[in-house]
Structure 1
């Protein structure tokens, strides 16, 4: 199993944040493998806990964009696994709930597995009460 350098992880998470904030859905989706598994372990009904493949991720992101606008992310704290192509990123996001108009403040811890430069698995740990 190959490893992932800190620089590779840093580049990926910065691209992730930049493309998401610019609402470049095509570019954002290109960060992921076609068979991406995207998980939300803390998600509550009616939100999904798991998405499989870019098509499901795209539909989810399109729906999310109608109810939530994230306008900034803090600079992430990044850790890479010693013996696997995995990195962990801790960061915060700010924005607005488009339905209620209330501010959105969220803390994230993300775990990403990378193969051939693409994210193949992404676990998004966030506070469902935010």
Structure 2
């Protein structure tokens, strides 16, 4: 799969709340980094199993993703690296209040698998996750 196809599959898995599918997109030795992580979230996960555990815990949060809207996709001189300007449209499932979270995401996608996912999310736009 091309990087764009991988990212579209990721989008669909997250909208569908298919966290096992989401995790399957990562390489065994993948790294997920959240440099601006909100309180209580790790800033770095190493390995598909750590990403799986984190993703399954995230599934319990009161957040439902409605869409991941790409504002702009930037190709780099390295064909494995893409940068997304993204808006996550979601709602808090307990209060049913919708919200948007903006972010910039950097991916290294090699042989159809995510090797690196660095998410610079605007943490101020994410409501309390409980």
Same fold (TM over 0.5): yes
Name the counterpart of 2:128.
none
Query: What's the offset of the Cα at 1:101?
Result: 4.4
Q: 2:120 aligns with which of 111, 121, 125?
A: 125
Matched, 1:47 2:41: yes
CA–CA distance in structure 1, aligned partners of residues 37 and 16 of structure 2:
25
- Contact 1:66 1:98 (C-alpha < 8 Å) held by counterparts: no
Where structure 2 has 5 or more consecutive residues not aligned to the other structure, the ranges are: 126-130
SS at match of 1:63: helix
Partner in structure 2 of residue 102 of structure 1: 97
Residues paired across the two proteins, number: 124
* Unaligned stretches of 5+ residues in structure 1: 1-6
Q: 1:44 Cα shift?
A: 3.4
Secondary structure of 1:59's counterpart equals helix
The answer for the alignment partner of 1:18 in structure 2 is: 12
Q: Do the aligned partners of 2:23 and 2:48 also contact (CA within 8 Å) in 1?
A: yes
Q: Over aligned residues, Cα RMSD in angstroms?
A: 1.8
Change (3 A) 1:10 1:76: farther
Write the distance in 1 (CA, Å) between the matches of 2:38 and 2:67.
24
Q: What are the equivalent positions in structure 2 for 1:1-130 lying under 5 Å apart?
A: 8-67=2-61, 68-99=63-94, 101-130=96-125
Name the TM-score, length of structure 2 as normaliser.
Answer: 0.84
Query: Shift of the alpha carbon at 1:76?
Result: 4.5
